[in-house]
C-alpha cells in the first residue's frame, strides 16, 4: 500500500483534470461525501485492485472499512444502522468505488441495491429490524437470487419452486450467476409459489446463509470483476419459515422489476467510474509523452465528452429518483449509456496507449474487462432498449392518441 501522503498527492493530481463536483452542481454535503469516498477508494482500493483481480480475492478488509464509512447500507435508515443517505450519494459512492476497483463496485451494488433493496422497500418493520442491522456494518454481505440457468433476461420464467406447508416454505431449484454467493450471510430469493399464475405467481423471500438444503456451485471463472464470487445457489428442499416472505405472495416479480429499475442507476455509475479511471490513466500516459499527437487529443476529447455525458445522465436519474419521479426510462437510459461508455472508453484508452494498455497490472486492461459485465447484468443493453422504446411508445400514445 502507498504511504498516506503519497497516495493523497496522487488523489489530488488524479482529479485535478476533471473534478466534477462543480460541473455536476453537487451540494456541499454531496461534495464532502464524494471527497471522503474518493480518498478511501484511491488510497485503499485502487492500489490493490490489480492484485484482487489476478488472485480473484474478495476484498474482505476493504468491505469492512466500507461498512464503517456507511457504504454497505447507504440508503438504509439511520435507526437501522444505515447511513440514511439519498440516491445521489449512493450514485456518487458507486462511481468512486468502481473508479478504484470495478469488482468492489459490483460487491457493493449487489449488496446495497438488490439484496437489501427488496427488504428495505417491501419488508415489514419487523423484518427490517431483524435483518438489515446485521448487514450494514460491512461484516456481512448479501446476494440477490433471480436468474436461473437459461432464463436470465426472462425473469418471469422462474422454475425454482417454493411450496407452502405448515407455516413454512420448502424451496427447490437452482439460481445461477449469483454475485457475492460465496461470501453471503443472506440473500433475497425469487421463487414460484403458484406455477399457474406465471410471473404473478412469483414471490420474494429472505434466505439466511447457511441454511439446511442450500448449497453453492463452483465459482465461475470470469473475464472481469474477478474479485467477486459468482456461482449457482442450489436449493434442495430448503425449508424457511413463512415469516421470511417479503411483500405479499405473488408480488415477487413486481418487487424484482422495481428493484432492478432503481438498481440500474448504480450500475450506470459503475460504468462511469470504470470509464473515468481508464480516461485518467490514458491522460496520465499522454501527458508524459514527448510529443502529443492529434490522434491522442482526439481520443482524449472523445473520452472526456463520453464520461461527462454519462455522468450527467446518471446523476439526473439519481436526482429524479430522489425527487420521487418515475425512473423506469431514465434509469434504463443511464444504464445503457453508462455501460456502453465504460466499454468504449476503456477500449479507446487501450488503443491510445498501444501495447502499454494491454499489459496486465497496468489498470486499463482490467478496466476493459471489468467494463464488459455492465452491459450484461441488471438487464442487458438489448433489454434496456426494449424498456426505453416501450416508454417512448407509451408517451407517444398518451400525447397523440389519448393512450390508444
Phi, psi of 212, deg, nearest 5:
-60, 135
State the Cα–Cα distance between residues 24 and 127, nearest whole angstrom.
37
Candidates 43-51, 139-147, 197-205, 247-255: pick the segment binding ligand FAD (CB under 6 A). Answer: 139-147
Q: Which of 9, 386, 389, 392 binds ligand FAD (CB under 6 A)?
A: 386
Residue 373 is a binding residue for ligand FAD (CB under 6 A):
yes
User: 94 vs 303, which CB is nearer to ligand FAD?
Assistant: 94
- The count of chain residues that interact with ligand FAD, using the rule CB under 6 A, is 20
Q: What's the CA gap between 143 and 229, in Å, rounded?
A: 10
Q: Binding segment for ligand FAD among 32-40, 67-75, 158-166, 376-384 (CB under 6 A)?
A: 376-384
Positions 111 through 130 that interact with ligand FAD (CB under 6 A): none
Q: Which of the ranges 19-27, 132-140, 164-172, 377-385 carries the binding residues for ligand FAD, by CB under 6 A? A: 377-385
Cα-Cα end-to-end distance for the chain:
62
Asked about 340 being catalytic, the answer comes back as no
Quick one: DSSP state of residue 45?
I
- Could you say which residues in the range 167-226 bind ligand FAD, by CB under 6 A? 177-179, 222
Does residue 332 bind ligand FAD (CB under 6 A)?
no
Considering only residues 54, 153, 295, 351, which one is a binding residue for ligand FAD as defined by CB under 6 A? 153
Closest separation between CB of residue 355 and ligand FAD, Å? Answer: 28
- Contact predicate 203/250, CB 8 Å: yes
Task: Indicate the helix (H) or strand (E) that contains 143.
Answer: strand 141-145
Query: Which position's Cβ is nearest ligand FAD?
Result: 152
Q: How far is the CB of 55 from ligand FAD (least distance, A)?
A: 18
Distance from C-alpha of 357 to C-alpha of 136, rounded to nearest angstrom: 37
Contact between 84 and 153 under an 8 Å Cβ cutoff? The reply is no
Residue 288 contacts residue 116 (beta carbons within 8 Å):
no
Q: Is 304 exposed, middle or buried (0-12, 13-18, 19+ CB in 10 A)?
A: middle
**Rounded to whole angstroms, what are the CA distances from 23 to 192, 250, 279, 345, 356?**
47, 45, 17, 20, 31
The catalytic residue among 183, 220, 378, 382 is 378
- Altogether, the residues listed in the chain come to a count of 404
**Choice from 69, 72, 94, 145 touching ligand FAD (CB under 6 A):** 145
Does residue 356 interact with ligand FAD by CB under 6 A? no
Q: Determine, following the binding rule CB under 6 A, whether residue 380 of this chain makes contact with ligand FAD.
A: yes
Give the nearer residue to ligand FAD in terms of CB position, either 168 or 199.
Answer: 199
Beta-bridge mates of residue 226:
none
Decide whether 31 or 174 has the Cβ nearer to ligand FAD: 174
Among 83, 131, 127, 80, CA closest to 108: 83
Closest CA to 57 of 68, 49, 46: 49
Q: How far apart are CA 78 and CA 265, in angstroms?
A: 22
As measured in angstroms, the least distance from the Cβ of 161 to ligand FAD is 17
User: Which of 179, 323, 204, 335 shows the shortest CA–CA distance to 261?
Assistant: 335
- Is 227 a binding residue for ligand FAD by CB under 6 A? The answer is no
Task: Report which of 387, 353, 347, 354 is spatially closest to residue 371, judged by C-alpha positions.
Answer: 347
* 135 lies in the binding site for ligand FAD (CB under 6 A): no
User: Which residues inside 230-289 make contact with ligand FAD, applying CB under 6 A?
Assistant: 230
Q: Of residues 382, 389, 394, 395, which one binds ligand FAD by CB under 6 A?
A: 382
* Shortest distance in whole angstroms from residue 157 CB to ligand FAD: 10
Using CB under 6 A, list all residues that contact ligand FAD.
Answer: 110, 143-147, 152-153, 177-179, 222, 230, 373, 376-377, 380, 382-383, 386
Active-site annotation, residues: 378
Amino acid at each position: 500500500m502507498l504511504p498516506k501522503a503519497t497516495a493523497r498527492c496522487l488523489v489530488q493530481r488524479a482529479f485535478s483534470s476533471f473534478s466534477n463536483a462543480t460541473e455536476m452542481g453537487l451540494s456541499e454535503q454531496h461534495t464532502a461525501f464524494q471527497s471522503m469516498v474518493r480518498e478511501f477508494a484511491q488510497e485503499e482500493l485502487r492500489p490493490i485492485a490489480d492484485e484482487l483481480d489476478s488472485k480473484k480475492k474478495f476484498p474482505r478488509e476493504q468491505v469492512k472499512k466500507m461498512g464503517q464509512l456507511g457504504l454497505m447500507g447507504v440508503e438504509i435508515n439511520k435507526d437501522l444502522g444505515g447511513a440514511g443517505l439519498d440516491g445521489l450519494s449512493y450514485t456518487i459512492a458507486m462511481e468512486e468505488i468502481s473508479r478504484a476497483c470495478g469488482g468492489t463496485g459490483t460487491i457493493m451494488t449487489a449488496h446495497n441495491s438488490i439484496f437489501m433493496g427488496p427488504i428495505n422497500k417491501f419488508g415489514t418493520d419487523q423484518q427490517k429490524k431483524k435483518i438489515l442491522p446485521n448487514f450494514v456494518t460491512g461484516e456481512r454481505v448479501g446476494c440477490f437470487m433471480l436468474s436461473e440457468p437459461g432464463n436470465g433476461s426472462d425473469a418471469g420464467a422462474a422454475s425454482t419452486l417454493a411450496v407452502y406447508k405448515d407455516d413454512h416454505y420448502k424451496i427447490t431449484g437452482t439460481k445461477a450467476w449469483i454475485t457475492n454467493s460465496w461470501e453471503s450471510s443472506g440473500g433475497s430469493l425469487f421463487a414460484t409459489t403458484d406455477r399457474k399464475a406465471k410471473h404473478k405467481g412469483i414471490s420474494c423471500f429472505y434466505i439466511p446463509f447457511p441454511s439446511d438444503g442450500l448449497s453453492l456451485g463452483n465459482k465461475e471463472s470470469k473475464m472481469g470483476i474477478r474479485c467477486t464470487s459468482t456461482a449457482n445457489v442450489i436449493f434442495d428442499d430448503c425449508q424457511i419459515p413463512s415469516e421470511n416472505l417479503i411483500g405479499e405472495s405473488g408480488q415477487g416479480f413486481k418487487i424484482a422489476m422495481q428493484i432492478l429499475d432503481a438498481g440500474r442507476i448504480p450500475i450506470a455509475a459503475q460504468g462511469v467510474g470504470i470509464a473515468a479511471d481508464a480516461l485518467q490513466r490514458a491522460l496520465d500516459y499522454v501527458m508524459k509523452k514527448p510529443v502529443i499527437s492529434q490522434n491522442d487529443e482526439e481520443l482524449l476529447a472523445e473520452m472526456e465528452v463520453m464520461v461527462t455525458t454519462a455522468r450527467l445522465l446518471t446523476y439526473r436519474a439519481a436526482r429524479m429518483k430522489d425527487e420521487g419521479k418515475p425512473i423506469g426510462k431514465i434509469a434504463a437510459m443511464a444504464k445503457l449509456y453508462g455501460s456502453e461508455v465504460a466499454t468504449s472508453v476503456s477500449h479507446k484508452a487501450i488503443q491510445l496507449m498501444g501495447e502499454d494498455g494491454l499489459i496486465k497490472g497496468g489498470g486499463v486492461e482490467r478496466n476493459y474487462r471489468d467494463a464488459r459485465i455492465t452491459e450484461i447484468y441488471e438487464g442487458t443493453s438489448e433489454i434496456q432498449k426494449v424498456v426505453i422504446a416501450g416508454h417512448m411508445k407509451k408517451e407517444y400514445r398518451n400525447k397523440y392518441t389519448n393512450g390508444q
